[in-house]
Amino acid sequence: MNTNQNILVKLKEAGFRINDKWLVKGVTLQIEKGKIVTLIGPNGSGKSTTAKIALGIYKKIDGEVEKYTNKVGYVPQKISVDWTLPLRVSDFMTLTENLKAEAINEALSLTGVIHLKDKNLGDLSGGEFQRVLLARAISKKPELLVLDEPVQGVDFTGEIALYELIKKISDELNCGILLISHDLHTVMSATDHVVCLNGHVCCSGTPIDVAKNNEYKALFGEQASQILTRYQHKHDHIHTDEGEIKKN
Amino acid sequence: MLDDFFIRALLAGLGVAIVTGPLGCFVIWRRLSYFGDTLAHSALLGVTLAYTMEFNIAFSVFIISSLIALILIQLQKRTNLPGDALLGLLAHSSLAVGLVVIGFLTFIRFDIMGLLFGDILAVTVDDLLIIWVGGPLILLVLKLIWKPLFASTVNYELAEAEGLNPDRAKAIFTILMAGIIAISIKMVGLLLITGMLIIPAAMARNISDSPQKMVVYSIIGGVLSVILGLFSSLEFNTSSGPSIIAAALFLFILSLLNIKQSIKLKN
């Protein structure tokens, strides 16, 4: 079935409904090793639902999902940890996999929260918790990373650093990433493939293709389109001369 | 040594406390205290079944409790009633049916008080065997499903997404709950089993900062409650179950004092 060895997850005309209400339908996309696929779209457009279909959290779905890996790291959009649990950051890191202390420390250092290792999870701020969530997802060196708004609540400089980290991880681990984000500016620079959702796939392709798409313009407005194309321009520049851009 | 009823009671109590410790932590974490109560109430029906069919009590309680858990899952799927209403419905109706059945069984003399609140005199060598074989078995299975169960307790979707199969772990845990109720019914009685699960774990929560510590403290708390409770029950000639639970409450209050002191120190 899997002709392309690089494919990690494949959705074919996938959809999910609760009773008769479709949360999302007709989604076709694939995530490959080393590639970043970004889902964009307004609130309630089915981004998180699509991620959950790809992860196999939703089982009774329409269409097909083929998943070729079990090494998955997931950063959910919402996580409500019950504080009846005494849980330190270090306990949370080994939640789904037993990790060596070095692997835990490395991941926490990468996301800049190593100093919080022995803190109680309930005592973290929103941004700190988000960094811990990301650290946990990457610490197990997954083949597939699903990041549902991974930098929400993170401060501005941290946001940029974390997106850079996500791109670095995708290169270093050669893992496939499904990213959900509202931030058109930052995300697009690193994305290989954009899927624009609005209850269904309204358009998809490279960031530049999507930015030119009329449906995308209708959904996000002309201005958003300009942001994207402008960014894409900058992106081209990064490719021609990487070292210089870092000085910018 | 096993001839002495008190030694038997002590051994039985310790065997039960070691198992209720870790299970009780999950009962608190997963907010299952009402669920535990429901299973325990249904145990009376299991006891009557054991008497009429001449089964082993622990075995028939285990069967009935598992059955009630299954019925609960089905009811949850088929009705829109909230979970606590369903639990109340099952708990009280199974208790009522159990009592009605007892009314019919006039040819057997039931020690209702013993069933409800535990009876140390009633612990036999066979009961000990069941506790010390069943208990470690429950712990072993709990250890095997620890990762998926704990992960899904923290966050179901994370556990499911990362391939841990939380549904299976939850089903197995339900069976373990039926198991602990079956082996501990003679010690603490069916009205107080949930107390044995919750109170030492609640005490442990007050003084621990990690899940592992909470499990260990919960076991220690349970063991101390059994020792304290049984000796005072011998001393004051009180029922074993309430004495053990009262001792657990005493430890819980101590753990609260400990917190207040540490807050004072911080300020």
Confidence of residue B207 (pLDDT cuts 50, 70, 90): very high
Q: Which of A171-175, A186-190, A202-206, B215-219 has the lowest mean pLDDT?
A: A186-190
**Which DSSP category does A6 fall into?**
T
pLDDT of residue A191: 85
Which residue of B154, B160, B165, B209 to mutate against A (max A Cβ within 10 Å)?
B154
Q: What is the CATH number of the domain that holds A223?
A: 3.40.50.300
A102 assigned to some structural domain: no
Write the single-letter amino acid at A162: L
| Domain count for chain A | 1
Establish if A197 belongs to a structural domain: yes
Please give the share of chain A, as a percent, with pLDDT higher than 90: 38
CA distance B32 to chain A (A): 12
Q: pLDDT by residue (tens digit) across A121-152?
A: 888 888 899 999 999 999 989 999 999 998 88
- Catalogue the E-assigned strands of A48-173: 62-67, 72-75, 144-148
Q: Which residue ranges form the domains of chain B, and what is each CATH number?
A: 5-259 (1.10.3470.10)
CB contact under 8 A, A86 and B158: no
Q: Which residue has the tokens 């506790």?
A: B131
Give the pLDDT band (50/70/90) at residue B48: confident
Mutation target for B interface from A67, A75, A84, A139: give the one with most B CBs within 10 A. A84
Let me know if residue A203 belongs to a domain: yes
Share the mean pLDDT of chain A.
84
Residue B186 touches chain A, beta carbons under 8 Å: no
pTM of the model: 0.86
Q: Which residues span the domain enclosing A233?
A: 1-71+143-153+174-239
Domain assignment present for A55: yes
pLDDT in tens, B210-256: 999 999 999 999 999 999 999 998 899 888 889 999 999 999 999 99
* Cβ pair A74:B31 closer than 8 A: no
Are B210 and A86 in contact (CB < 8 Å)?
Answer: yes
Strands A36-40 and A176-180: parallel
Q: Does B255 touch chain A (CB under 8 A)?
A: no
Nearest to A118 by CA among A148, A145, A139, A92: A92
- Please say whether the beta carbons of A54 and A197 come within 8 A: no
In chain B, % of residues over pLDDT 70: 94
Closest-CA distance, B149 to chain A, in angstroms, reads: 10
Whole-number average pLDDT of chain B = 89
For chains A and B, CB pairs below 8 A equal 72
Q: How far is CA B111 from CA B47, B59, B115, B177, in A?
A: 11, 19, 6, 24
Residue A235 placed within a domain:
yes
> CA A187, CA A193: separation in Å to the nearest integer?
11
Q: Which residues of A lie closer than 8 Å to B, measured between beta carbons?
A: 52, 55-57, 70, 72-74, 76, 79-82, 84-88, 91-92, 95-97, 120, 140, 146
Contact at CB, A86 and B213, closer than 8 angstroms = yes
Could you tell me the pLDDT band of residue A186, with boundaries at 50, 70 and 90?
Answer: low
Query: CB-based contacts of B221: which residues, under 8 Å, 6+ apart?
Result: B21, B199, B200, B201, B203, B204, B248, B251, B252
Q: Is residue A169 part of a domain?
A: no
How far apart are alpha carbons A114 and A220 in whole angstroms? 38
Tens of pLDDT, residue by residue over A26-68, are 899 999 998 999 998 888 889 999 999 999 999 889 999 998 8
Q: Which of A167, A206, A207, A203 is nearest to A185 (CA)?
A: A207
Buried/exposed code over A79-92 (b: 16+ C-beta within 10 A; e: otherwise): eeeeeebbbbbbbb
DSSP-derived secondary structure letter, B55: -
Q: Given this model, what pLDDT does residue B2 score? A: 66
CA-based R_g, chain B, Å: 19
Q: Is B150 on the interface with A (CB under 8 A)?
A: yes
Closest by Cα among B32, B59, B31 to B46: B59
Give the pLDDT confidence score for residue A29 in this predicted structure. 92
Yes or no, beta carbons of B210 and A70 under 8 Å apart: no
Nearest CA-CA partner of A132 in A174, A83, A88? A88
Closest in B29, B158, B211 to A74, CB measured: B158
Q: Inspect the interface and report whether the beta carbons of A146 and B213 lie closer than 8 Å.
A: no
Cα B267 from Cα B263, distance rounded (Å): 6
Strands A36-40, A72-75: pairing is unpaired
A231 within a domain of the structure (yes/no)? yes
